[in-house]
Amino acid sequence: VNWSSSDVRKRFIEYFVNENSHKFLRSSPLRPISDQTIPFVNAGMVQFKSVLQGKHLPPAPKVANSQKCARVGGKHNDLDAVGLDGYHHTFFEMLGSWSFGSCDKAEACKMAWKLLTGPFGLSPARLYVTYFGGDGQMGLPPDHETKDIWRQLGVQDSHILPFGTSDNFWEMGLVGPCGPCTEIHVDHVPDRTNAGARVNAGFSDLTELWNLVFIQFNRNKDGSLTPLKYSHVDTGMGFERLVALLNGVKSNYDTDLFTPLIQAIHKISGCDPYSHSFDENDSTFQKDKSYRILADHARLLTVAIADNVFPHLECKLRWVLRRALQISDNFMGKEGTGAPLLIELSSYVADSLHSVYPEIGKNLAKVERTISHEAEIYQAVRKEFPKNWVHLVKSKPELESLLVFGSNRSALSAAYRKMNSTNGLNSKVSPALAYHMYESHGMSAELIGEMAKISGKTFSVEDYEEEFEKRRQQSMLSTATKFVASSDSFVGLLDSGKVAKTNDLAKYDYSPYAD
Ligand code: ATP
Ligand code: MG
Ligand code: MG
Ligand code: MG
């Protein structure tokens, strides 16, 4: 059977909406509406944070959608994996289902299992499930309830595996809702009997597909957990991974979500065609990796700019844009000539996604203008730097590696001056100064390291990350404690009259699937 990506998405929504009484809610924009702690929505659950925290009523007791997600920063940063494996993207869609106010684990597992093995026709022999194996230090017992549920659904014991907190216990932040999760992983090698040891071990032949989170507890300020009176189910499945799986192809790049982009790169550039290599020793690997990265980045850029996330305001996005431009230049064979290729790709992205996310089609002209404007700036910077920057760097490639990290030239030079004035007599870039450079100039650790090197100073990434984590937790704690109400439920809040009666996201509800 051939599954087109739109059929897969549609089938998922139909299953939950028509056959299991969920309400369809459209994807929220890629830029979080009400959450300032993250630059991009990185999971379907983000738009429901306020519901989980008891600030808003849910839009319906059960909800399903496909959500535009990006993982290019913060806790979830998959940028480095992109191009190297076939299943981590900067931009991807998460198919989600929720049950608010009651956490019926058996029902959630059953719905997921029946969908995969029924309409999607996957063989149980290729599915592995994980559950929370407990954590003595945190005083959390194993989630045997979930283990039994999988058994009752007919999953073999050798396919039910326990994992610890990092894989199977979800927390929103330092305080607030949290709970165990159970995941479904897929063996891509048919007819293999016991591949359990490969689950969660980083193998590309056995990958995670669907995460089901049971939000049962509230983490209190003193670190203790109390059971929630009103608990929730929050599930998210990787859409591109599912499409690849259903079509029996080896990587997400071989699905109709990517092949038109890859073919367009080939056609426009005239370079050798994509040849699917993931093996670093192959002579075609570098070229194939470039195809993948460019196709991936074109998707993120198009979707993000269409949602009003602009490269000059979001340094990670500018980083991605400049990297995409460099790769486009390489395909076209000359510096500064890649923009038209990238712009052309954005229209392919719109073709592929606009029927589900109409804003992408509607805002395509803005995407094109922004890319071409940014390309001009980038080209100007590249042309100009030898004049103004020559005293800072030893070689052009070195400088290029600086500029591509996302800050603009004046921010860089300001940061450089700062590094040299406050640290004039010091041979070390202190973590506090590094944090300042991050906060005021949006500089990445790599960039700070590069600049330190040029200045003949040492810089410890570990110390910096420790400092970063400390500050991040401080700020998260203050944000989180502001939100967490004394009552443990939205129903309790509703009784007290303190909760908004409608979810302010309702106004974005314009689904192509809506009834
Ligand atoms: P992985 O372990 O593969 O990195 P994850 O545990 O980080 O995935 P979750 O946070 O549980 O992912 O997100 C739910 C689902 O979203 C995953 O099961 C996976 O199918 C999908 N997913 C996660 N990250 C990506 C990504 N970068 N690109 C494509 N799909 C992703
Ligand atoms: Mg991950
Ligand atoms: Mg995982
Ligand atoms: Mg996961």
> Each residue of 479-488: pLDDT tens digit?
433 333 332 3
Residue 300 has pLDDT above 80, yes or no: yes
By mean pLDDT, which of 4-8, 12-16, 317-321, 380-384 is the weakest? 380-384
Give the pLDDT of residue 68.
97
The Cα 43–Cα 241 span in angstroms is 15
| pTM (2 d.p.) | 0.81
CA angle, 65 then 115 then 14, to 5°: 40
Residue 506 has pLDDT above 70, yes or no: no
Give the pLDDT of residue 47.
87
How many angstroms separate the Cα of 424 from the Cα of each of 93, 229, 417, 473?
Answer: 48, 57, 10, 30
The Cα 237–Cα 279 span in angstroms is 27
Q: Give, using CA atoms, the residue closest to atom 22 of ligand 1.
A: 238
Ligand 1 binding pocket mutation candidate from 12, 79, 94 (most atoms within 8 A of CB) = 94
Separation of 112 CA from ligand 3 center, angstroms?
Answer: 17
Separation of 292 CA from ligand 3 center, angstroms?
Answer: 22
Residue 395 has pLDDT above 60, yes or no: no
| Average pLDDT of the segment spanning 347-356 | 97
Which tokens hold the place of 116? 């995969």
Q: Give, using CA atoms, the residue closest to atom 8 of ligand 1.
A: 208
Of the segments 275-279, 380-384, 464-468, which one has the largest average pLDDT value?
275-279
By mean pLDDT, which of 26-30, 208-212, 379-383, 427-431 is the weakest? 379-383
Ligand 1 binding pocket mutation candidate from 85, 88, 95 (most atoms within 8 A of CB) = 88
Give the pLDDT of residue 443.
64
How many angstroms separate the Cα of 127 from the Cα of each of 152, 171, 254?
Answer: 15, 25, 21
Greater model confidence, 416 or 246: 246
Q: Give, using CA atoms, the residue closest to atom 27 of ligand 1.
A: 88
Separation of 121 CA from ligand 4 center, angstroms?
Answer: 22
Beta strand 176-187 pairing with 127-132: antiparallel
Q: Which letter does DSSP use for residue 85 in this model? A: B
Paired residues of 127 in beta bridges: 186
Residue 274 has pLDDT above 90, yes or no: yes
How many angstroms separate the Cα of 439 from the Cα of each of 426, 443, 446, 455, 461?
Answer: 21, 8, 14, 20, 16
In this prediction the ipTM stands at 0.99
* Residue 254 near residue 230 (C-beta atoms within 8 A): no
Burial class from Cβ neighbours inside 10 Å (0-12, 13-18, 19+) for residue 20 reads middle
Give the pLDDT of residue 419.
67
Dihedral angle sign, alpha carbons of residues 6, 9, 10, 11:
positive
Q: Which letter does DSSP use for residue 79 in this model? A: G
Q: What is the mean pLDDT of the chain?
A: 83
Write the pLDDT tens digit of every residue in 131-171.
999 998 888 889 999 999 999 999 999 999 999 999 999 98
Of 189, 33, 133, 121, whose CA–CA distance to 503 is shortest?
33
* Residue 135 near residue 101 (C-beta atoms within 8 A): no
Q: How far is CA 170 from the centre of its chain?
A: 16
Percent of the chain with pLDDT over 90: 55
Give the pLDDT of residue 502.
40
Residue 5 has pLDDT above 90, yes or no: yes
How many angstroms separate the Cα of 32 from the Cα of each of 28, 70, 199, 239?
Answer: 8, 11, 32, 20
pLDDT band at 393 (very low <50, low <70, confident <90, very high): low
Beta-carbon contacts of residue 409 (< 8 Å; ≥ 6 apart): 381, 384, 385, 388, 389, 403
